[in-house]
Amino acid sequence: MDKVVERFLKYVQINTQSVQEVETCPSTENQLALGETLVKELREIGLADVSMDAKGYVMATLPSNLDREVKTIGFIAHMDTSPDASGENVCPTLVENYGGGDILLNREKNIILSPKDFPDLLDYAGETLIVTDGTTLLGADDKAGIAEIITAMEYLAAHPEIEHGEIKVAFTPDEEIGRGADFFDVAKFNADFAYTVDGGPLGELEYENFNAASAKLTIRGRNVHPGTAKNIMINSILIAMEFNSLLPLAEKPEYTEHYEGFIHLTDIRGDVEETELHYIIRDHSKELFAQKKQVIQEAVNFLNIKYGPDTVELQLTDSYYNMKEKIEPVIEIVELAKKAMEEAEVTPKIAPIRGGTDGARLSFMGLPCPNLFTGGHNFHGRFEYIPIDSMKKAV
């Protein structure tokens, strides 16, 4: 079995789901356990300056084998998996020589991975796929990225005839909950530029991402016995529904694609007395991003006029910004990645990220950082899969 596959199958056995509600870094102890495993491997393959700090950030260096100075490049992946689906007891299965039809993931629960639902599967007919058992995510996001980076470093360390400058690697915690760059020491990493290996299908190369914000709304009502409620009760649930109805109908994830942004209701809970809503706001355009936040603010203002001051409380927080403005001045690093893909017989597919990466924030911290493919599909869910040939190409 290929080393990149062996590594990946080993890493996914460690449940490294991050947890939004926890304020520590990392948010889960198992991320440290994976970090310790990676530190051991990095030392075994001959990298220098291998370290993991108290917050779980792993860094290492492959020294230059040149007698001249060149720029230092970095590769970064994240150790946590998404809270959106279970990462406990991941049972990966290899589907060899995929025939192009349905894949039965779980006979007992009749869970099927079908090209009718996921037509990209047909692109990999004849290849070997790694799939789930239908009850957990797979963890290709981003344990495939980790496996690919370490396997590439192992190959370079074992083949000194391949000339290269100094190469830095880093593995971060808590990317999936938006905190992967919070304690990243850019000065210690000391690279001129880097790439996150956190993308999707074969050939993905990304240097644009969403501008992102989150909105938390607390709506306060007044509860009394419904039998005597006339002109007294204020039902916060109904006001929450009214608020959501004031937002643009078409600007939802299920109606948008490409460069189209959205306002997404992720969570609602409450009762007559108090209801809480959580939204995420996304747009590639700074101007449209600002407009979406203004729409939310104006809806809050309207309801506070209608129902009384402080009926609706808004907490609006920016999360990260589009790295395009930081990458374009050094666009040669994108061209370098394109050239490397073409030399590996991979067709580059440049498209905007409909999400974010650690690289977005790192680019604003002085480390320009486009995103490269891992080869994975259907991240954050039980239908996640990855073709082995795509992993080899990433290496």
Within 10 angstroms of residue 374's Cβ, the number of other Cβ atoms is 31
CB 148 within 8 A of CB 141: no
The catalytically annotated residue of 141, 166, 175, 198 is 175
DSSP assignment of 168-187, as one string?
Answer: EEEEES-GGGT-TTTT--HH
Of the candidates 80, 76, 87, the residue with the CA atom closest to the CA atom of residue 55: 80
123 counts as catalytic: no
Query: Which spans in the chain are helix H?
Result: 3-11, 30-44, 140-158, 186-189, 236-245, 286-307, 324-327, 332-343, 358-364, 388-394
Q: What is the DSSP string of 86-130?
A: --TT---EEETT--SS-EEEETTTTEEE-TTT-GGGGGGTTS-EE
- Active-site option among 80, 154, 198, 283: 80
Secondary element (H or E) of residue 312: strand 312-320
Separation between Cα atoms, residue 200 and residue 212, nearest integer Å: 20
Q: Which pair of structure tokens corresponds to residue 80?
A: 């946590």
Tokens 């009749």 sit on residue:
110
CA distance 172 to 53: 11
Cα separation of 370 and 392, whole Å? Answer: 20
Residue type, 223: N
The structure tokens listed for 310 are 């402080």
Nearest Cα residue to 165 out of 63, 44, 310: 63
Q: What is the DSSP string of 185-230?
A: -HHHH--SEEEEEEE-STTEEE----EEEEEEEEEE-B---GGG-T
**Catalytic residue check, 175:** yes
Alpha carbon distance 61, 72 (integer Å): 10
The letter for the amino acid at 127 is E
How many CB atoms lie under 10 A from the CB of residue 194?
26
Residues with a known catalytic role: 80, 175
